[in-house]
């Protein structure tokens, strides 16, 4: 269908911030969309009289503009470009239809040319395929929920990760609903036998029995694409419910400088699903707070981190979609949500070894000035449950944390499961799922 037919049925709802088109010296046409405050999922479809309508891939820049290049639309002197600008604002879809004449296009300002040439979208998923695409995502398959004594396993089950109405759901479920009421006391979780493979045997994750079996099943998806410097944008709505732990984060594609945290970790977003969870000082730490953190160091017990929380007022991160992002170059790491920047950390002049005040041999001496963050990283989306992300020093209402800090995995999981009459009352249908509307990775 050609775009001029679409224009007949599209209603213009705003007319103030129009896209600007520029001609490059090589003849290509580039577009700048001015900052659309509080907006997300900005898209542009362009055509002329002789070409089919084609989407333009747009990248958001530090100054709030959206930039792209017309690769699939043929232009010539005197032709007219028809376009539809579409974006969401406060979960309402806005559309704007206009046209512009090619022969009137000015040249792109020199200051903008380098930025456009260096940025390439290398990964995009809006889940319009209706499935979790195995060419884009890999499932973790293990009985081990991670290194923080989590109460969940990770599975490829359709109940734990699925696409519905163009949205990815990462949905925790009860283990007993899949394996039966007695499975947590005398069951045998042979991960490879059940799902055909086991991706991680840490903490005996490939084979667990009885009370060591996690009471929750969930999903963890890793992108098949990695980037070294660039921007990642994830549009998501976070889960609500006690002891839920959603995360959008990054790990190195290879452990070039050594095991965790020697090769680094970047947490774009971590949160808690509890609606009434506070620090000893009374600060809110629940579903209205987004945490961004960067970890590095020569050993798990000798590490540093930097980060900052961002707190919403009067609402939670589970009430609407937000864009969680990282902008990462050799010179800085910036992380934020929507228009808020939580982290703006410049690469230390003397390197991270010096900034961390580590002693001994610098394990990053042969890397770049920003080592260990000078290597490719991939993206991870998951929802965990429980573990040491929560602790007794904090206060949960209307009941206290039901497990003891520092106990064995089996003891903590059993105590959590025995208190299910308390936390299950806060788990409501799809609200316990992290819902992801789109993921975009732009390589610099």
pLDDT value, residue 105? 56
Give which of 268, 283, 267, 272 is closest to 238, Cα–Cα.
272
Mean pLDDT of 106-123: 61
Query: In this structure, are residues 199 and 142 in contact, taking their beta carbons and an 8 Å threshold?
Result: yes
> What CATH code is assigned to 120-443?
2.60.120.200
Domain ranges of the chain: 20-101, 120-443
Asked whether this chain's domains 20-101 and 120-443 adopt the same fold, the reply is no
Task: Copy the structure tokens of residue 19.
Answer: 């896209």
Residue with the larger pLDDT of the pair 61 and 68 = 68
In the chain, the percentage of residues whose pLDDT exceeds 70 is 84
Task: Kindly report, residue by residue over 327-346, the tens digit of the pLDDT.
Answer: 999 999 999 999 999 999 99
**Which pLDDT band holds residue 76 (cuts at 50, 70, 90)?**
low
Please say whether the beta carbons of 88 and 41 come within 8 A. Answer: yes
pLDDT of residue 196: 98
pLDDT score recorded for residue 338: 96
pLDDT recorded at residue 347? 97
Residue 44 is predicted with a pLDDT of 78
Contact of 145 with 384, CB cutoff 8 Å: yes
Domain 20-101 has CATH 3.40.640.10: no
What pLDDT score does 333 carry? 97
Q: Which residue, 205, 242, 241, 240, is CA-closest to 220?
A: 205
pLDDT tens string 257-298: 999 999 999 999 999 999 999 999 999 999 999 999 999 999
Residue 386, number of CB atoms within 10 A of its CB: 27
Parallel, antiparallel or unpaired: strands 152-154 and 216-218: parallel
**Out of 90-104, 118-132, 201-215, 220-234, least confident range:** 90-104
Distance CA 123, CA 109 (A): 28
**Sequence-distant (≥ 6) Cβ neighbours of residue 294 within 8 angstroms:** 264, 265, 266, 267, 305, 306, 307, 333, 335, 343, 345, 373
Q: Which structure tokens are listed for 143?
A: 């009985």
pLDDT in the model for residue 396: 98
Q: What is the pLDDT of residue 7?
A: 32
Residue with tokens 């879809």: 93
With a cut of 90, say whether residue 418 has pLDDT above it: yes
pLDDT at 13: 37
| Mean pLDDT value across residues 11-25 | 58
| pLDDT higher than 90, residue 58 | no
Mean pLDDT score, 410-433: 98
């Amino acid at each position: 269908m050609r775009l001029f037919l679409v224009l007949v049925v599209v209603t213009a709802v705003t007319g103030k911030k129009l896209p600007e088109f520029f001609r490059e010296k090589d003849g290509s046409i580039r577009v700048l969309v001015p900052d659309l405050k509080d907006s997300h999922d900005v898209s542009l479809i362009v055509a002329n009289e002789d070409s089919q309508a084609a989407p333009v891939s747009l990248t958001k820049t530090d100054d709030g503009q959206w930039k792209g290049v017309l690769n699939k639309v043929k232009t010539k002197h005197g032709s007219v470009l028809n376009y539809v600008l579409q974006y969401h604002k406060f979960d309402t879809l806005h559309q704007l239809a206009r046209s512009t004449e090619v022969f009137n296009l000015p040249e792109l300002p020199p200051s903008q040319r380098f930025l456009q040439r260096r940025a390439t979208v290398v990964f995009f998923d809006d889940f319009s395929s209706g499935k979790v695409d195995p060419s884009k995502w890999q499932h973790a398959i293990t009985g081990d929920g991670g290194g923080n004594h989590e109460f969940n396993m990770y599975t490829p089950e359709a109940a734990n990760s699925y696409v519905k109405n163009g949205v990815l759901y990462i949905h925790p479920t009860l283990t007993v609903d899949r394996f039966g009421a007695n499975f947590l006391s005398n069951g045998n979780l042979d991960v490879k036998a059940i799902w055909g493979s086991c991706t991680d045997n840490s903490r005996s994750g490939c084979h667990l029995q009885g009370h060591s079996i996690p009471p929750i099943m969930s999903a963890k998806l890793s992108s098949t694409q990695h980037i070294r410097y660039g921007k990642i944008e994830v549009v998501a709505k976070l889960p609500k419910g006690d002891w839920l732990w959603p995360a959008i984060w990054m790990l190195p594609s290879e452990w070039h400088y050594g095991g965790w945290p020697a090769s680094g970790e970047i947490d774009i977003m971590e949160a808690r699903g509890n609606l009434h969870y506070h620090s000893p000082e009374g600060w809110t730490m629940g579903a209205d707070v987004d945490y961004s953190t960067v970890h590095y160091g020569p050993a798990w017990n000798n590490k540093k981190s930097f980060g900052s929380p961002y707190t919403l007022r009067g609402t939670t991160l589970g009430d609407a979609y937000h864009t969680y992002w990282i902008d990462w170059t050799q010179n800085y790491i910036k992380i934020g949500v929507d228009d808020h920047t939580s982290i703006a950390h410049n690469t230390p002049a003397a390197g991270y070894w010096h900034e961390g005040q580590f002693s001994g041999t610098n394990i990053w001496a042969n890397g770049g000035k920003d080592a260990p963050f000078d290597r490719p990283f991939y993206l991870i989306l998951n929802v965990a449950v429980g573990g040491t992300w929560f602790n007794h020093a904090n206060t949960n209402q209307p009941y206290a944390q039901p497990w003891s800090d520092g106990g064995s995995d089996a003891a903590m999981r059993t105590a959590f499961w025995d208190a299910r009459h308390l936390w299950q009352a806060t788990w409501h249908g799809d609200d316990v799922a992290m819902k992801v509307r789109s993921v975009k990775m732009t390589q610099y």
